[in-house]
Amino acid sequence: MHGIYRVESFEIISSYTLRIRFDDGSEQMIDFQPVLTGELFGPLQDISLFNQVRIDPEVHTLVWPNGSDFEPATLHDWPEVVNDLIAAARQHEQIPA
């Protein structure tokens, strides 16, 4: 069960990697590259699109111009969920378009 969190700020650290700060004072450093597959997240492999990330003021999570986003709780709990996200991303790679 996820808690309710809000993204307060982020910083681009390197290609596809963000440091994200949450309203509970915690931070996550996330390398998104392993999960950038499929119809929604695949376009974010274009670094210029990825770097257009912003915080949605209504839902307080990271969003991109193509409609990609992650639940704030997923970002907050990234170490616990990343392996499942990578497995799902690999399944998307194997499904023919």
- Within 13 Å of residue 54, how many CA atoms lie on the same side as its CB? 9
30 beta partners? 18
Bigger pLDDT: 12 vs 1? 12
| 14 phi, psi to nearest 5 deg | -160, -175
The phi and psi torsions of 88 (rounded to 5 degrees) equal: -65, -40
Tell whether 11 is covered by a domain: yes
Within-domain flag for 71: yes
Mean pLDDT for 76-81 is 95
What's the pLDDT score for residue 94?
62
Residue 61 φ/ψ, nearest 5 degrees = -140, 175
Q: Containing domain of residue 82, as a range?
A: 7-94
pTM flag (> 0.75): yes
Q: Please give the tally of structural domains in the chain.
A: 1
Q: What is the DSSP letter of 58?
A: T
User: 62 in a domain, yes or no?
Assistant: yes
pLDDT at 96 over 90: no
The one-letter amino acid code at 33 reads Q
1 is a domain residue:
no
Q: Is residue 2 part of a domain?
A: no
CATH code at position 67? 3.30.2020
